[in-house]
Amino acid sequence: MAAKLEDSSSELYERCTTAALSSPEGRAKIFGQDELLKMGVVDSAQALLELLQGLMDAQLVRLMQMDGKICYALRTKDDATKIVTLNDDERMVYNQIENSGTNGTWTKTIKQRTNIHQTTVTKAMKTLESKKLVKPVKSIKNPAQKIYMLYHLSPNEDVTGGPWFSDGELDREVTPEADGLSKKRKRNDTADIEGSHPKSRRAGGYETQISYPAGWRGYPTVSAIHHFITEAGFLKDSSALAESDLQNLLDVLVFDERIERIGNGYRTCKGVFGATEAMKNIMQGRQVGDAVEEVEGNGLSQAPCGRCPVFNLCEDGGPVNAKNCEYFQTWLRA
């Protein structure tokens, strides 16, 4: 009888494993009692409970409650073998981490919920980590807090921050490149140097970029920028980049005042290129042609007043004033 019960338990476990792996949830799939009965291993709820109890004793199945109903989740045979060797404190800590899912849980929360001394919790953590049952994860929301989750799980985006973060920190290589591509896309769409404006002109070897007039509604949308970046192919897995991820990056650029939102589109805040370096050379007594670097700026930074070292002394009737400024004519001729 015991052998038959064990065989039936093994069959139920294997059928559950097959069903889980073929489902979108994978091993995270949750089973209800009705679904388990439909697998046809046993024909009564009482017999099913006996099989499940045997699997829970072997740590192959764990009991859960969802929406007020009893349900069950699988564990791998490898994990079950390790869990059986844990003492009571270690198992309590493990259960708390397991229940946290892909959100993970903080050690302080574990201590509060288990009422176990911090030293014991720390010791249990080391044991669980050494057995590769749990792992520490960096959270972008609380970088100073140590978050733990099951070893085989991948943290959700609330924890990792999505594709712009790596190991809980902003990716300093991917983000600027995406930023540059986003701004390039917006700049290409919002200002055409040659044809968008008849007054575009060259200044000191540089060509001024003039934006579209007020009221223009052809600025690139999130969808257009998303298509541009994914087509550029600089991400390892462009298909993993959702529009919501890009929206988060654009929001950061807006907060940093590097771009601005116009209607449902975006444009760069500093979309004017010109002879700012040339003017700097003029003001320091060098030749305009000495300028070798294209500097991004705006109308004010190009004008002499925007970079004048004695700007605060400039006033009508003063030693420095607009009437006798020696830089205006040079700037206008540039």
* Positive/negative CA dihedral, 13, 19, 25, 31: negative
Can you tell me the distance from the alpha carbon of 210 to that of 213, in angstroms, rounded to the nearest whole number? 9
Confidence label for 328 from pLDDT (cuts 50, 70 and 90) = confident
What CATH topology corresponds to 2-76? Arc Repressor Mutant, subunit A (1.10.10)
pLDDT > 50? residue 200: no
Q: Is the pLDDT of residue 185 over 80?
A: no
Q: Is the pLDDT of residue 331 over 90?
A: no
Q: Please report the pLDDT score of residue 163 as a whole number.
A: 64
Token pair of 135 as six digits: 């792992």
For the whole model, what pTM was predicted?
0.56
Token digits of residue 246: 């890009």
Confidence bin at 288 (pLDDT 50/70/90): very low
What are the structural domain ranges in the chain?
2-76, 86-160, 170-269, 274-333
Mean pLDDT throughout 2-18? 80
Whether the Cβ atoms of residue 142 and residue 197 lie closer than 8 Å to each other: no
What's residue 167's pLDDT?
Answer: 60
Question: What is the tens place of the pLDDT at every residue in 249-268?
Answer: 788 778 877 778 888 887 77
> Which amino acid makes up residue 70?
I
* CATH (residue range 170-269): 1.10.10
Q: Is the pLDDT confidence value at 101 over 90?
A: no
Among 6-20, 132-146, 186-200, 290-304, name the one with the lowest average pLDDT.
Answer: 186-200
Please determine whether the domains at 86-160 and 170-269 fall in the same fold group of CATH: yes
What pLDDT does 56 receive? 92
Whose tokens are 């859960």? That residue is 64
Query: What does the pLDDT average to over 142-168?
Result: 75
Per-residue pLDDT at 283: 46
Q: What is the mean pLDDT of residues 152-171?
A: 68
* Rounded mean pLDDT, 223-248: 75
Q: How confident is the model at residue 160 (pLDDT cuts 50, 70, 90)?
A: low
Dist. CA 73–CA 61, nearest whole Å: 6
What token pair was written down for 59?
A: 């740590």
Class level of CATH domain 86-160: mainly alpha
Instruction: Tell me which of 162 and 114 has the higher pLDDT.
Output: 114
Q: What is the pLDDT of residue 302?
A: 67
- What pLDDT is stored for residue 298 in this prediction? 58
Contact residues for 178 (Cβ-Cβ < 8 A; gap 6+): 164, 229, 234, 235, 246, 249
